[in-house]
Structure formats: structure tokens, C-alpha cells
């Protein structure tokens, strides 16, 4: 079967929307049939993102104007809260890969606690499958609605989930120190994201209260079979793409390395470095790869686990495409095998 | 005489305001008695600019609330158009160093052409002295109102004015190719100034229609004694501070170098490099210095002149302080002798 | 026919070598059969370039140890001078795409003038075809040895060759002001290329004596049918990839725009922007695209032409692959259609 | 008394040497009488560091050629190992502020363990005072030889020493996660420090085996009165200046904040932010300030302490000047009060 699937991108004027277009541009089985951006409706994608001006793409329109007939799947890259209202009105037979935070959390009370308002589409929330492909592959394949993970959350989980499942680390002494590029903050103008404010500087933000903690709590408890509360301190890097999590755990180094290597042995995008080596964000840039490393501390029983990925690719739009491939019955890696861009 | 002069900074919440505070913080004869930022009134400067949090400074207030008694001089770092309205209402015996574009142009028609509206304070416009210190030193010393130059304009003029005065270049074939850091665009959030939009990229902007052309036209005509129209193409650099003008002229290389060297022989901030050497923005960062270079083309009669300065220091706030020193009868270089920060 | 061509990469441990691997990694018809790096022989490519560690690649070896049987084409990414010695010893039936400066210049005297020593393989120099694909496509298709262009040279030529051919600009008043990212300087450690020396700064280098002038002279004369000497001032940008040429010419703006648009109307990688728009290096990053723009000066008869490309892709390794496709009878764009990476 | 002290800078051609010149350039009581750089002897400082070309400075010479008569103090910015040989031959009445690692460690066995060879000047090692000014002020004032601290070491110690002294944290569960700019790696060309290798990327290095661990062990044991072994993971940032330590400790947040605030209440360069705020490296750039923050984790009993400084200023050359001021009987803050450069 070599048919073409028509897809739509809702919220195409942000960085994750543009990244979807970049990836799908060379995907042999997907065709972008509709793109929306309510505030930029009427513009071409090339006007909004000149690096895509050479592509033939549908003009940006409103969500209301999309003709859903013939569209198999929609990527939804809208802000959270808006998303649940929009998705609730989409055709019920449309497959949806959502990139927002709206459907990540299983427990409505937890959602309300972290996002400050009640969820408005509880049925969808109940239906959604968490989009961490390597851990929910079968559910994603069968899902209608997949909730893309937080990009920081994915980075931390890739380093920790196999360890919690294998029981090779203590669960009450986990620290996730994380550094992320600025593109995760999106394209809306904010003083704190200006070049003058970001370059040549480094600082922590949302210390101990970042919303991706909710995802950690949910998924780590599930993996460990008990409540797991981690410490999480994200920092902002003077770079555009890339997240590195430096994770401090207690356990035995080689056992930890083995648990990661075994968990990811057959995964096409997961690269576990030789024991003792540390990954770098620059070596996964623009790719769907995750590089993982394990280095023991000088103090016995303490180990550092490192996890690096590109927040816009494996952390959001690449993950979304990987999940869409599964949902559409296509090869999982299709359109995602480009090597990282370095330097 | 070692008295202290009280000064005010109007519009202290932008980058030029912060740069003024940075410079004045170690100035032995100036005291910041009032600071305003209408939208941030009530905040401390340390809240708005954490790098200044160690300084004892007056709280940010409104312009209306400033007590002008005892204040000798005001730096006005407000947006253009707003500025002329504000300055018109300030006490008539107050010395003013303005950093906006409002008082740079002598001809009201030229102002209206480039800024799109009639000037609202023609008497002040007539009174103002153009703030390019090395060329208007005596007028500035006697002035009540000094109009700071455009930062791009200053960079180009430092390379060209001595050549036009000395008559060593042709006046109808001058090209100013210029590259500037992003801090000149200010701290207001704009999509185009986000780190993700600026870093790892380079492009021209406002090609052939940048407003600093008006200053070039005015000052070059005055220096040459005839109309001089230059070509001017500014570019945006992926860096915060620094402007480099690469100026293409026709003339004889060594004569051009000599004209620059002679014009600036006694200038404390002007450094003319040996013939054949090119300056770099990184070598003037944070200082009030201008580095100038002259290199002949392989084609006889064609010469490149290079001019580099820090847009926030010599290009605006450092220039402003240099002029304030003159207006207050203080040593011209006071508070301005810090060496550049490299790397 | 869907056979696989085995290729070799000589000098794979530099940035252009790594870029070739990145591009070929997803090329459906090429297989990397041998890779050399004399000083790193024995290492894996993943050790030298960790971003390529997920790929199955031959181990780095010496040139002497390559088994040429079955290899159809070699990419040669060695330093100049070394290259002519190496290529002279390669099998005579091997197709070669060279990325060095060794075979770009037709005239041995010109080579000796610019590179400071006599050429050691005059027969190869005579045989080589200049690799600017869009202008030498037929010759390249039939060539055994193709000489990749200088990356700065290509950027300037894409903006100027159609204009010289069409006769729409004056030939004695052309200025190429160019800014380039640092990756063009290669991976050998040099003080001037350290992050501390490059970031947050901008300066001209090799003013009026850059070796790519020799390529300009050769190709512009050919296109114009007469000697053309341009002024050329390159600058170093605080970024890794990307070159922008800002070209100052005399002519009529719309005629110039039309000449470019017509010349590149059917070219898959050449994008001529609407009249009045300026391209940016960030919008071609990592791609084989060239973005071109034309903006008239305020002074009639003067026009700025802008040309932007990625020095490692279209400026060297992407160009090399495009030429290799032609030489091997493959579709010219194969493996080169990935969209730019932004941000 | 307002006499001038003549000083020498040995090893002036590195970044710490240049930073010393930058700071001393506006110091009212110090005069640079001699500067050495063995491999660049004969050159001017302006040739080696063009940002200092406007200063009148002695030409670079060899150490052997320095006339020590009249020189009160030498800053020694040479590589480790070389340093101990050089200092052993200097006049015995010369005050010395050393910036290398050679005299930081009290225990010769510890030195040999971390630096891989026996110490060659044990008497000097015994004599040297550790240069962390705020904790050794009296000893420094009386010292002849002061050993500047490691820049990473200083950053971590400023956050932890008051807590260990006050006994408000557990001593066996301390993690120092640190990120540093590249200028700390010096000006010698290394592949890993090229702009192309550093920018747009982030990674850990020397994990769990960085030599500054030796300083932590020494000073933390002294402060706590018992052996303290910390976990230490440094990372390299894509920026030139600045270090941020994110320190994970166990204790009570407000008590920890209070301990820091009290310890540094009268310190001119130590700024303790309000409880709950995080510092940023960009807000101390180019200054001798340290910004400290304390934020409690969501898990009771766990706290994050943040410490930010400029590695070239407070982390090395600024610290050195602060110590020199003490040793010469000058006001401690002299020449060090310039505000940070932002942006």
C-alpha cells in the first residue's frame, strides 16, 4: 500500500508547527492538506516562516474553514486550554496528535491543580493516550487521540523510566537538573526571550514548580508502582534547540547502564552511549534521536544519568510525527531519519 | 571644585537607561536623584534590571512626580515623538541630554518626511545641538539641549566626516554597509528580536530607507559643503552590542588614513589603527572607544574605511555622558575610561 | 535502474566530510564504502563526530588502505595542495568530486599567484570542471573530476553571474560585501576561531586579498566576455553556518530582478524573493537552497543584490552531492531536499 | 598616603592576564611596570589583545628580563606546574598573587593525586594562603603569597561555606551541578573550544573527576569540621563568561537563606537575593559581584542554593586584584566597583 494520507496542522504559525512542516516536507506518505493559524489566516507559510517559502503548501486559514472530508489526521499545535475547546469540536473520526499540555494528565484534579482551571473536555482527557512512543507504542497505534508529552518531561522520562521499571534506583532521592534551549518558549514575543536577555547568560526558572512535574509524578508512579516525587530544576540556555537532563540517582552504575541499554536495545531513535560517556545537545540537533549516558560518581552508590534530545523534534514535532506514523499504520521511522545538523 | 551634580534619568527602564546607570554608578561627580519609567513606576531598578540590584538608586517614578529642584541635568531616554512632548514641559533652566531621534534634524520638513508627522516642539528643535561630541564640542559645552545621535549614524559619521571635511574622497560614490547588534532595537518584546529569530543568522533590514539616512544627509552636506547622498544598508547581527560600518569610498588610501589620524590625533576615545588593519566590534565592547581602520582595495582609487563602536556606550549612553560632562563643566572623559570587556 | 553506488570520502574528519555523511545518510542510492582521515585512522566516525554515532559507517582508514575496486566516486575533502598530490595517485577511472581549492582555477599562473606555489598536477587542473552546478551542469554530467567552488565565491557568483550574462549591470563598479559563519574555517584549532574570540563580535578579514577573488575574476570574465574586477570584503560572523553576500551594483532594479528570476526559473534550489525583499542566512540553514533578493537604492541606478546560502551545504558538501548525482546519472536533487532547520 | 604601587603581570597573554589589565587600567593606585609572555615577548599588549590597544603599557617581555627593583607585587597567571618553578625563583620579598592551581592545596599528597606529579616547591605551598577573600581576609592581608581559587571552586564555596559553618545543612548529601562559560578554558587553541563546537550546545565534562573537587574537599572539611564529599558535575555553556552553581542540599530553606544573608551582610561584593529568587550569570558579567539565591524544593527538607559569578572577574582576576589590594594595604574594593555589563 502506498497511498497518501492527507493531514492538517492546526496552529501552524508557531515553532512546533513549522517543525512539523519541515519534517513532513520530505515524508513520502503524508500530504499537508490544511494549515490553520487564526491570527495569520490568509497569509502563506512562506510569509510567516521564510525558510519554508520554497514549499508548495496550502495557505493558512482558520480552523472553522477547514474542510475535514478526506483528512485522516490532524496535528494540533495550539496553546493549552484553547486546545481542549478546539479538539472537542473536531470530527469524532479524525485522528488527532496533540502537542499541547491539555491531554497529558489522567487525573482531572491534577490537571486543575497545575493548570489553574477545570478541564473542559473530560471525555477526551479520558480517551487520550500519553505520547511517549517507546513506552506506549501499542496504545498509540490503536489510539484516536494522542497527547504529546512535555519536552522537558520526555527528556527526564527517557533517562528514568527504564530504571524505575527495572527497580535499579532508589525512588525517593531523584534529582532532575535540566537545561533547555529557548525555542520551547515559543514564538510569542516576551521580554525574557529577547536575544539581549538570553544570550551570554544562564539561569534557573520555575524552580520546583514547573508544570512538567505533573507528568513526572504521573508516569514515574506508574513505572515504579508507587508514588515517586522528584526534585526538578529547569534552566534556560543561551541556545535555540536542545535539552539536557542531568539526573542524580542512587544505585549501581553498571546496573543502571545495563537497564537503559536493554530497554532501548531495539529502539530506532534511542542511543545509549558507552558507560562513562556524556551526551551533548549539539549532537542530536534537528534529529529525532535521544542520546543517553551513565557516569558513576566518585561516591559509591551515586550515579549521574544524562539524557539529551532536541525539544522541537523528539521533544514535540518529531515525536508527534512518530506517533502519527503509528496511528496511520506507516513505518514508525518514516520521515524521521535525517541525521543531526552539526555544527 | 568637587561638588556633586544631581541628575535625572527619564525612561530608565530601557537598555540605554540601564547603560546610563551603569556608567554613572562609578562617576565621581554625578548622583542619580530621580529615575522615571511610567509603566514601571513604583518598582526598583533592581527589579527591572537585576544586574543593578547592588546599587543604591531612587525608586522608579513617573515624570510628573519628579521634583526638579536641585537637579542640574536630565538624561531623556524616551521613545521618539513622546520625547518632544515631555521635553517641552520640563523646566527651562534644566540641561537636557536627549537620546531619542526627536532633536537630531535641523530641518522640520526633513523631520516630518522621515518620521511621518509634524514636529511638535519647533523651538526646541531649533535650539538643540547635535551630539556628535568630537565635531560639536564647543556648541555642546554651551548648550542647554543636546540631541544624541543615532548609533548607526555615529558609526558612519566617525569614518566619513573627517574625509569629507578634508576633501580626500569623492562625494558621490559612498556606500555604508553596516552591521549592528540587537540591543539597539530596545527591550520592547518583538518577534524579530527573539533569541530564536536572531541567533545563528544575518540579514539586511530597512535597506535604503533607514531613518539614520536623514542624519547622514544633514551632517555630510555640512561637512562637504554640498549635497552628499550615500547608499546605506544596515544588517542585524546575532550579537547584543557593537556596530561595524564598512565604508566603500573612492580616494587614495594613505591620504584617507592620514586625514582620519590627524582629525582624531587628540581625541581621547578615537583610536585610528595602523594603515591596513581592520577593527572588530568585540574590541570596543562596553567602552566609549571608537576603533577606525583604513585598507586600500586591490583596485587603485578604491578604499575601505572601517568604524567600530558599542551602540549602547559610544553610540548612545556613553556619548550622552560625555556630552553631559561637557555641559556641566566636568572633565570630558570622567566616568568613561573603563577598558572594553573582552571576551 | 535502482542500483547502489559505492562512494568514498577522503578527509572525512573535517566539517565538510561530516556534512557529506549527514547528507548521504538518507540518500537512497549511495553507500559509503570507505572513509579516510589519515591522522584519525582507526577511529570510528562516531568518535570523531558524535552526532553521527547512530549510523553504520566504515571505520576511518588511510587513503593508502582504500580498496578502490567497486567504488564509483570519491569525494575529496582534503586541504589544498595536499589534494593535488593525492588525486594524482587515484585510479584514473574513478569519478572525483573535489572540495578543495586545487582544481578551481584554469590558469596555472593564476593558481601560483594566489596559492604561492606551482601546481603539481597540471593535467588534472586542465581536466577539471568548475562545480557551480547551475552554470556548468552539462560539463559536470560528463566530467570525471569536478572542482567544488569556494563557498564565498559561490555566494557571490549566484548573485552576479546572471546579471553579467544578461548585461544588466555595469561591470566596473561591483562591490561584494560578504559575511560568513565560522564553520568555513574548518575544525583545526585556531585561536581566532575559539568561541571566546568569535561570539559577540564582527570584523572584516582578508580584506581585498581573499583567495576567492581568483574565482570571481575567472568566472566573471567568462560571463561578461571581458575582464571584471570586483571589490570583495569578507567578514566573520558570530555564527556557525551561513553566508550572506550584499552586492552593490549599478543598473536598473527591476531589470536586475528579472534577470535573476529568469535565470533561475527552473532551478530546484534557487529561490528568488519578490522584488524588494532581503534574504537571511537563517532561512537556508542546513539546506541546499540559495535565497536571492534585489532591492533598489534610493539613488536611481544603484541596486543591492543579496545572496544567502549555507556554506557547508550548498557552499560545499551539498553542492558536491548535487554534482555527484549528475556524474552518476542520478536525479540531481536526490538526498538534497530536506528543508532548512529553523530556528 | 596616595603612592603608586608598581606591579608586574606574568603570563599576560591569556584571558586572565588581559582581565587583570582591564581592571588595573582604571585602578588609581597601581601601575603596570612589567608584563611577560614568553612566547609573545617583544609584542605589544595591543597586538595580542586589540581591545587594550588604547592603553599605555610596557611591552611584553620574558620573565628573565624583568627588573624586579621597585616592583611591589606580581600577579602570576601562568599554567600550573610551570608556576611553581617560576615562583620559586622570584625575589623572596616580592608579594605574589598566583592565579594557577599550584598553591591551592595544603596537602602535598592531595596535590600529587589530582595533578599527577609531586609538587616542586613545598615550602611555597606551605606558605601560601588560599585566596577566597571573604573567608581568609586576615590571612591574605598578612600574606606574601596568595593562591587564587579555582573559578568553579569559588562559585560552589560561596554557596556552601556559610552553610557548613553554620551547620544548617546535612554534610553527606550535597550535589553541585555547575555550568560555566568557555573563557575559563583559556586562549590556547583546542578543538573543543572552537565556536562551531561550543555554540548552540550544552554538555557535562570531567564528570565526577574535575580537579576543583580537591578544593571542595579541603575547604568544606575545614568549614564543617569533618570530612565532606560532594558530588560535582560541571557543564560547558555556549557563552564566554559566567558560572552558575545549582547546589542541592538538605536543610530548612529559610534557615539556609538566613545563614547566607548573615555571613555576607557586610561583604561589598556578595549579594544575597530575596528568598525564592534565582540569580543569573548575565547579571554579574564583567563585575566582581556574586549573586546568591535560595529556593526551597516542593519536598520539605530539600533546598536549592544558587551561586553566580563571572569566572574571569570574581572567579580569577577580580579576586586576584581584591587580594592584592589587601596585601598592599589599599581599600579592598579599589578598582573593582564597575557595575556588570548587561546586555
Rounded Cα gap, residues B156 and B248, in angstroms: 11
> Which residue from D minimizes the CA distance to C185?
D196
Q: C290 by DSSP, 3-state: which? A: strand
Q: Average pLDDT of chain A?
A: 97
Q: Could B233 and C241 be called an inter-chain contact, meaning their C-beta atoms sit closer than 8 Å?
A: no
Rounded Cα gap, residues C126 and C147, in angstroms: 11
- Which H helix or E strand runs over C179? strand C175-180
* pLDDT for B2: 66
Do C140 and C196 contact (CB within 8 A), yes or no?
no
∠ CA B61-B67-B71, rounded to 5°:
110
Do C164 and C224 contact (CB within 8 A), yes or no?
yes
C-alpha count within 13 angstroms, C-beta hemisphere, residue A45? 27
> Which residue from A minimizes the CA distance to D286?
A200
Rounded Cα gap, residues B293 and B274, in angstroms: 7
User: Minimal CA–CA distance to D137: which of D270, D246, D4?
Assistant: D270
ipTM of predicted assembly, 2 dp: 0.97
Neighbours of chain D (3+ CB pairs under 8 A): A, B, C
C76 as an active site residue: the answer is no
Do A84 and A105 contact (CB within 8 A), yes or no?
no
Q: What is the mean pLDDT of residues D3-14?
A: 97
| Chain C contact present for A334, CB below 8 A | no
Q: Could you tell me which CATH number the domain at B151-310 has?
A: 3.30.360.10
Closest CB to B342 among D18, D25, D199: D18
* pLDDT for A216: 98
D275: Cβ–Cβ under 8 A, 6 or more apart, which residues?
D253, D254, D257, D294, D295
Q: Could C201 and B296 be called an inter-chain contact, meaning their C-beta atoms sit closer than 8 Å?
A: no
| Chain D contact present for B333, CB below 8 A | no
pLDDT category at D120 given cuts 50, 70, 90 is very high
| Chain C contact present for A339, CB below 8 A | yes
Q: What is the mean pLDDT of residues D1-15?
A: 92
Residues in A touching B200 (Cβ below 8 Å): 240
Range D33-43 burial, b when 16+ CB lie within 10 A, else e: bbbbbbebbee
B261: Cβ–Cβ under 8 A, 6 or more apart, which residues?
B272
Residues in D touching A235 (Cβ below 8 Å): 179, 244, 246
Q: Could B25 and D55 be called an inter-chain contact, meaning their C-beta atoms sit closer than 8 Å?
A: no
Residues in A touching D306 (Cβ below 8 Å): 204
Q: What is the mean pLDDT of residues C137-148?
A: 98
pLDDT category at A2 given cuts 50, 70, 90 is low
End-to-end, the C-alpha distance of chain A in Å comes to 38
Pairing of strands A129-130, A203-204: unpaired
User: Minimal CA–CA distance to B264: which of B153, B148, B165, B142?
Assistant: B165
Residues in A touching B239 (Cβ below 8 Å): 199
Rounded Cα gap, residues D148 and D313, in angstroms: 12
Q: Could D199 and C15 be called an inter-chain contact, meaning their C-beta atoms sit closer than 8 Å?
A: no
Each as own residue / partner, the long-range contacts of residues B102-105 (CB below 8 Å, 24 or more positions apart, any chain) are: B102/B147, B103/B128, B103/B145, B103/B147, B104/B128, B104/B130, B104/B147, B104/B148, B104/B149, B104/B150, B104/B153, B104/B214, B104/B215, B104/B218, B105/B214, B105/B215, B105/B218
Q: Could A235 and D246 be called an inter-chain contact, meaning their C-beta atoms sit closer than 8 Å?
A: yes
* pLDDT tens for chain B, residues 1 to 343: 469 999 999 999 999 999 999 999 999 999 999 999 999 999 999 999 999 999 999 999 999 999 999 999 999 999 999 999 999 999 999 999 999 999 999 999 999 999 999 999 999 999 999 999 999 999 999 999 999 999 999 999 999 999 999 999 999 999 999 999 999 999 999 999 999 999 999 999 999 999 999 999 999 999 999 999 999 999 999 999 999 999 999 999 999 999 999 999 999 999 999 999 999 999 999 999 999 999 999 999 999 999 999 999 999 999 999 999 999 999 999 999 999 999 9
Neighbours of chain B (3+ CB pairs under 8 A): A, C, D
Strand partners, B270: B290
Give per-residue pLDDT as tens, A183-210: 999 999 999 999 999 999 999 999 999 9
Q: Could A195 and B191 be called an inter-chain contact, meaning their C-beta atoms sit closer than 8 Å?
A: no
Q: Which residue has the cell 563568561?
A: D241
Rounded Cα gap, residues A26 and A334, in angstroms: 9
Residues in C touching B238 (Cβ below 8 Å): 237-239
Do A100 and A94 contact (CB within 8 A), yes or no?
no
Rounded Cα gap, residues B309 and B290, in angstroms: 5
Q: What is the mean pLDDT of residues D216-226?
A: 98
Rounded Cα gap, residues D152 and D156, in angstroms: 6
Which DSSP string corresponds to D78-127? PPTTHHHHHHHTS-TT-EEEE-SSTTS-S-HHHHHHHHSS--S-HHHHHH
Q: D229 by DSSP, 3-state: which? A: coil
Q: Which three cell numbers stand for residue A339?
A: 541525521
* pLDDT for C2: 66
The Cα of A182 is separated from the nearest Cα of chain B by a number of Å equal to 7
* pLDDT for B111: 96
Domain boundaries, chain D: 5-149+314-327, 151-310
User: Minimal CA–CA distance to A217: which of A117, A80, A110, A306?
Assistant: A110
Which DSSP string corresponds to C229-246? --EEEEEE-SSSS-EEEE
* pLDDT for B1: 47
* pLDDT for A1: 47
Strand partners, B98: B76, B147
Do A302 and A175 contact (CB within 8 A), yes or no?
no
pLDDT category at D2 given cuts 50, 70, 90 is low
Closest CB to A248 among D175, D181, D283: D175
* pLDDT for D1: 47
Q: Could D193 and C190 be called an inter-chain contact, meaning their C-beta atoms sit closer than 8 Å?
A: no
Each as own residue / partner, the long-range contacts of residues B85-88 (CB below 8 Å, 24 or more positions apart, any chain) are: B85/B120, B85/B121, B86/B10, B87/B121, B87/B124, B87/B145, B88/B120, B88/B121, B88/B124
pLDDT above 70 as % of chain A: 99
Rounded Cα gap, residues A95 and A75, in angstroms: 9
Do B121 and B88 contact (CB within 8 A), yes or no?
yes
Rounded Cα gap, residues D336 and D22, in angstroms: 11
CATH number 3.40.50.720 is the correct assignment for the domain at D5-149+314-327: yes
Interface of A with D in 27-86 (CB under 8 A): none
| Chain D contact present for B25, CB below 8 A | yes
Residues in C touching A283 (Cβ below 8 Å): 50-51, 53
Rounded Cα gap, residues A132 and D176, in angstroms: 30
Give per-residue pLDDT as tens, A244-266: 999 999 999 999 999 999 999 99
Question: How many helices (H) and strands (E) would you count in chain C?
Answer: 11, 14
Under the phi-then-psi rule, with left for phi > 0, alpha for psi from -120 to 50, and beta for the rest, what region is A286?
left
| Chain B contact present for C202, CB below 8 A | yes
The Cα of C204 is separated from the nearest Cα of chain D by a number of Å equal to 14
Neighbours of A230 (CB within 10 A): 22
Rounded Cα gap, residues A287 and B237, in angstroms: 27
> Which residue from A minimizes the CA distance to D182?
A200
Q: Average pLDDT of chain D?
A: 97
Q: Could D341 and B199 be called an inter-chain contact, meaning their C-beta atoms sit closer than 8 Å?
A: no
Q: Average pLDDT of chain C?
A: 97
Closest CB to B197 among C244, C281, C343: C343
pLDDT category at C1 given cuts 50, 70, 90 is very low
Residues in D touching A296 (Cβ below 8 Å): 208
- pTM summary value: 0.98
Amino acid at each position: 500500500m502506498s497511498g497518501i494520507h492527507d493531514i492538517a496542522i492546526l496552529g501552524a504559525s508557531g515553532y512546533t508547527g513549522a517543525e512539523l512542516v519541515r519534517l513532513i516536507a520530505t515524508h513520502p506518505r503524508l500530504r499537508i492538506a490544511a494549515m490553520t493559524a487564526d491570527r495569520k489566516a490568509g497569509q502563506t507559510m512562506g510569509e510567516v516562516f521564510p525558510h519554508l517559502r520554497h514549499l508548495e503548501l496550502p495557505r493558512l486559514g482558520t480552523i472553522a474553514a477547514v474542510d475535514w472530508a478526506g483528512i485522516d489526521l490532524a496535528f494540533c499545535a495550539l496553546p493549552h486550554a484553547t486546545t481542549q475547546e478546539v479538539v472537542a469540536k473536531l470530527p469524532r473520526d479524525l485522528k488527532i496528535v496533540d502537542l499541547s499540555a491539555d491531554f497529558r494528565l489522567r487525573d482531572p484534579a491534577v490537571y486543575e491543580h497545575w493548570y489553574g482551571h477545570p478541564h473542559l473536555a473530560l471525555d477526551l482527557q479520558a480517551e487520550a493516550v500519553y505520547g511517549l512512543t517507546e513506552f506506549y507504542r501499542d496504545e498509540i497505534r490503536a489510539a484516536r487521540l494522542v497527547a504529546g508529552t512535555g519536552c522537558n518531561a520526555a527528556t527526564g522520562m527517557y533517562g528514568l523510566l527504564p530504571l524505575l521499571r527495572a527497580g535499579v534506583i532508589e525512588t525517593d532521592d531523584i534529582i532532575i537538573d535540566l537545561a533547555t534551549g529557548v525555542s520551547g518558549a515559543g514564538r510569542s514575543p516576551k521580554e525574557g526571550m529577547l536575544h539581549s536577555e538570553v544570550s551570554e547568560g544562564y539561569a534557573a526558572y520555575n524552580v520546583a514548580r514547573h508544570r512538567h512535574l505533573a507528568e513526572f509524578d504521573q508516569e514515574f508512579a506508574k513505572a515504579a508502582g508507587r508514588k515517586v516525587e522528584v526534585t526538578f530544576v529547569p534552566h534556560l540556555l543561551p541556545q535555540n534547540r536542545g535539552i539536557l537532563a542531568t539526573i542524580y540517582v542512587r544505585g549501581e552504575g553498571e546496573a543502571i547502564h545495563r537497564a537503559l541499554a536493554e530497554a532501548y536495545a531495539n529502539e530506532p531513535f534511542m542511543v545509549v552511549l558507552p558507560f562513562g560517556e556524556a551526551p551533548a545537545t549539539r549532537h542530536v540537533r534537528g534529529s529525532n534521536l535521544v542520546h543517553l549516558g551513565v557516569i558513576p560518581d566518585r561516591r559509591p552508590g551515586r550515579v549521574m544519568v544524562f539524557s539529551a534530545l532536541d525539544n522541537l523534534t523528539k521533544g514535540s514535532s518529531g515525536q508527534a510525527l512518530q506517533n502519527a506514523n503509528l496511528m496511520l499504520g506507516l513505518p514508525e521511522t518514516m520521515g524521521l531519519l535525517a541525521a543531526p545538523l552539526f555544527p
